[in-house]
Structures are given as C-alpha cells and as structure tokens.
Amino acid sequence: MLLTTFLAESIKSGKIKVSQNNTETLEITAQNKKIDVNAKDKEFIKDIISSTSKSNKPQKGVIGTIERSVDGLRTVRNMQPMVKEIAEDLKREGMTVTLSFKGDKVITIGSEANSKFTRFLLGTKDVQINSVKKLVEMGL
C-alpha cells in the first residue's frame, strides 16, 4: 500500500477548506472511500504547478510557447510511472479521488475511473479525464 492510499484510507469522512490570502482555494471532501479535491482558484493551482517547474522565468513568443510545450510533455512522461502506480493502488483499495474545478469533475483516479484514452497515454485505465475543457481552463 502506497503512502497516498494509506492517507486516503485514514480519512474516513469530513471536509477541509484551504484558503490563501483570505481567498478559498481548495475544498477537500472525503466520504465512503471517495475524496474530492475541488479547486476554487485556478491561480493557486498555477502557482503550485509553476513552483515545481524547472524554470520560473516567463517565456514569451513562439519559441517560449514551444519550450513550455516540450517541458510539459517531459513532465508528463516523467510523472507517468508515479501516476500509474497511485491510480492502480487506489483501484486495488476500492478508492476514488476526483479533482474538480468549481464543482465540475475534471479528473477521476482510482476505482471509478475507466478510460481507454488514458490507458493508451499512461498505460492504465484507472485515470479518467472527465473534462478537457476544465483541464485546460485550470492550466493543467
């Protein structure tokens, strides 16, 4: 059992609200082996993503866009084994984690996920993209 599923299984039910500068950014709800992480502020999500990238300097123009795209593909490729392992472990434990944006499901991971597209992309059907539009809107 991975640390992620251990933590998810430890949380039986409840709700946590996370705020930054008096602005609600995340709402995490847990119940019946389901955890929903509802992002309410896309700038908070973008800050988290940019803090993990190699280069935090702004890049403009066509070259900058291409470099960001290539860096994004490298990040996905490097994270693929970890995401696959987490998703399959959640499925084995009968758990589901969803990422939502302003109440709309964006990604489902674990036992309730079933996607042929992500099976091709990540090597597992235990990750499902529910809304590409919201995924793009969040900047992921």
* Domain span at 17: 3-138
Q: pLDDT per residue over 8-48, tens digit each?
A: 667 778 898 988 888 888 999 999 889 999 998 877 877 77
pLDDT of 79 higher than 90 = no
Q: pLDDT per residue over 82-112, tens digit each?
A: 888 888 888 988 999 999 988 899 999 999 9
**Total domain count for the chain?**
1
Three-class SS state of 62: helix
Q: Is 1 exposed, middle or buried (0-12, 13-18, 19+ CB in 10 A)?
A: exposed
**Sheet containing 127-129, strands listed edge to edge, beginning at the edge strand earlier in sequence:** 13-20, 23-31, 34-39, 96-101, 104-110, 127-129
Q: Is the dihedral of CA 90, 113, 136, 31 positive or negative?
A: negative
